[in-house]
């Protein structure tokens, strides 16, 4: 049969994974080696009979071997962050507020510990913030049932995995962002939920003043995920005998800091101001890292003597910890998203015992008020 330009196949990769040569497969499927070569190169579209014999010989489904390129849908999506013009992109996709949002999988955004699978590929359009995405799967239900959370709390991923276990039709996409970046992402329509832990010393309130300021009149609710201990991560055994931020300066300790907009940096600055210590008196104050994990690794590897993070992160990395403050970590959700079924299903799992157990064994979390609405703005 002549070539079909829309027909794609996975024959070579499956064959080589099984350790078969073209001749081995040809013998098992009762075809010629030239037939195998022609199919793999896309120069030959096999008959139904040959297709079935190939699938049987490889122990897989026909759909695993062959598909039609034109069957994959395309959508237009808004890019969640700027990218160079005319750049080919791997993206993940979600439906937020009635429009498709594409999240470029570039650099650290492409990884957690393993690489994140893409939902599609596309090329950024010159002069716009949009991208035409060719999806890699025709199952749009998954994308419609994707909930996007922007935040920096490592426990969000635990909550997400537990939720997907109870609601297999849901997918939770966790985009790492500091508190202010997460809030702005929510405001721009790039996330359903923003996680944050910012303290306002003027009002004595957590998060709410910042939400009112950034959302500027849009209605939202704040739901507590938990209260966590924040403080100084130290080398195991605390060899410098650090007990306060004053000790950091007195002992000539070197720190790593977090970026502007993060709750950890804001707490460090507020603590230094309270102790009347100039920022530039702290060695390493301008050495900025962008996650709790990066701070912990820097301290653990001896790159720095201390850094600001949480008790649970200290425990996970086997580090010393000096508590300085308890911060409430809230989930901020626009009211327009609250009635969406996927969001309701996700929030309902905050009361599940397994979620509580995961948080409790981490240490440093008070989840006595988990799931409570603490403010409406």
Phi, psi of 295 (to 5 degrees): -65, -45
CATH number at residue 291: 3.40.190.290
Beta bridge partners of 307: 233, 256
DSSP 219: -
What pLDDT is recorded for position 228?
85
Residue 261 forms part of a structural domain:
yes
Tell me, yes or no, whether 44 lies in a domain: yes
Of 47, 68, 89, which closes a domain?
68
Same domain, 138 and 152: no
- Measured CA to CA, the distance from residue 309 to residue 75 in angstroms comes to 40
> What is the C-alpha separation between 149 and 159, in angstroms, rounded?
11
Query: Which CATH number is 79's domain given?
Result: 2.40.340.10
Q: Which of 199, 198, 255, 236 is nearest to 314 (CA)?
A: 236
Give the SS3 label for residue 72: coil
Rounded CA-CA distance 192/332 in Å is 9
Q: What is the CATH number of the domain that holds 62?
A: 1.10.260.40
Residue 356's nearest CA partner among 155, 169, 172 is 155
Domain identity same for 353 and 375:
yes
d(CA 11, CA 57): 11
- One-character DSSP codes across 21-55: -HHHHHHHHTS-HHHHHHHHHTS----HHHHHHHH
Question: Residues 125, 170: one domain?
Answer: no
123 and 37, same structural domain? no
Q: Where does the chain have alpha helices with state H?
A: 11-17, 22-29, 33-41, 48-58, 62-65, 140-144, 155-166, 179-187, 208-215, 245-250, 263-274, 292-300, 311-317, 335-338, 341-348, 353-362
Same domain membership, residue 282 and residue 250: yes
Residue 310 bridge partners (DSSP):
230
Sign of CA dihedral 192, 85, 75, 119: negative
Cβ contact 232:310 at 8 Å: no
Task: Identify the domain containing residue 15 by its residue range.
Answer: 7-68
Q: Are 187 and 196 in contact (CB under 8 A)?
A: no
Q: Answer yes or no: do 271 and 354 share one domain.
A: yes
Answer whether 0.75 is exceeded by the pTM: no
pLDDT per residue, tens digit, the chain (377 aa), is 445 556 778 788 788 878 889 999 999 999 999 999 988 888 888 889 999 999 999 888 887 788 776 556 788 888 988 887 766 777 888 888 888 988 887 766 665 556 778 899 888 777 788 888 888 887 788 888 899 999 988 788 888 888 888 888 899 998 888 999 999 999 999 999 999 988 888 888 999 999 999 998 899 999 999 898 899 999 999 999 999 889 988 989 999 999 998 888 988 999 999 899 999 999 999 999 988 889 999 999 999 999 999 888 888 888 899 999 888 999 999 999 998 989 999 999 998 887 888 788 777 788 888 999 998 88
Length of the chain: 377
Predicted local confidence at residue 2, as pLDDT: 47
Neighbours of 10 (CB within 10 A): 16
Number of domains in the chain: 3
Task: Clarify whether residues 175 and 280 are in a common domain.
Answer: yes
Nearest one of 177, 106, 96 to 143, comparing CA atoms = 96
């Amino acid at each position: 049969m002549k070539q079909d330009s829309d027909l794609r196949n996975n024959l070579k990769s499956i064959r080589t994974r099984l350790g078969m040569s073209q001749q081995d497969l040809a013998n098992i499927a009762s075809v010629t080696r030239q037939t195998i070569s022609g199919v793999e190169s896309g120069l030959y579209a096999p008959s139904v009979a040959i297709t079935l014999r190939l699938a049987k010989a490889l122990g897989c489904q026909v759909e695993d071997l062959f598909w039609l390129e034109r069957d994959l849908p395309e959508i237009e999506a808004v890019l969640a962050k700027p990218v160079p013009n005319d750049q080919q992109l791997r993206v993940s996709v979600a439906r937020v507020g009635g429009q498709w949002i594409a999240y470029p999988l570039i650099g650290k955004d492409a990884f957690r510990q393993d690489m994140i699978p893409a939902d599609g590929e596309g090329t950024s359009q010159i002069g716009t913030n949009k991208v035409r995405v060719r999806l890699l799967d025709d199952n749009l239900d998954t994308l419609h049932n994707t909930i996007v959370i922007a935040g920096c709390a490592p426990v969000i991923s635990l909550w997400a995995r537990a939720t997907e276990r109870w609601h297999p039709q849901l997918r939770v996409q966790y985009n790492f962002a500091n508190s202010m970046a997460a809030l702005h992402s929510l405001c721009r329509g790039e996330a359903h939920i923003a996680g944050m832990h910012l303290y306002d010393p003027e009002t004595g309130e957590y998060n709410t003043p910042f939400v009112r300021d950034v959302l500027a009149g849009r209605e939202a609710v704040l739901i507590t995920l938990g209260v966590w201990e924040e403080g100084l991560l130290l080398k195991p055994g605390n060899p410098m005998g650090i007990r306060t931020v004053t000790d950091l300066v007195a002992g000539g300790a070197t720190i790593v800091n977090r970026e502007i907009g993060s709750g950890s940096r804001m707490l460090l600055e507020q603590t230094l101001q309270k102790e009347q210590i100039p920022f530039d008196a702290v060695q390493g104050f301008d050495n900025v890292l962008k996650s709790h994990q990066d701070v912990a690794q820097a301290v653990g590897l001896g790159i720095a003597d201390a850094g600001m993070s949480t008790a649970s992160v200290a425990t996970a990395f086997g580090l010393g910890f000096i508590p300085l403050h308890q911060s409430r970590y809230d989930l901020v959700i626009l009211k327009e998203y609250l009635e969406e079924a996927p969001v309701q299903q996700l929030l309902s799992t905050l009361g599940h015992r397994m979620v509580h157990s995961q948080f409790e064994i981490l240490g440093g979390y008070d989840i006595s008020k988990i799931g409570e609405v603490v403010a409406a703005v």
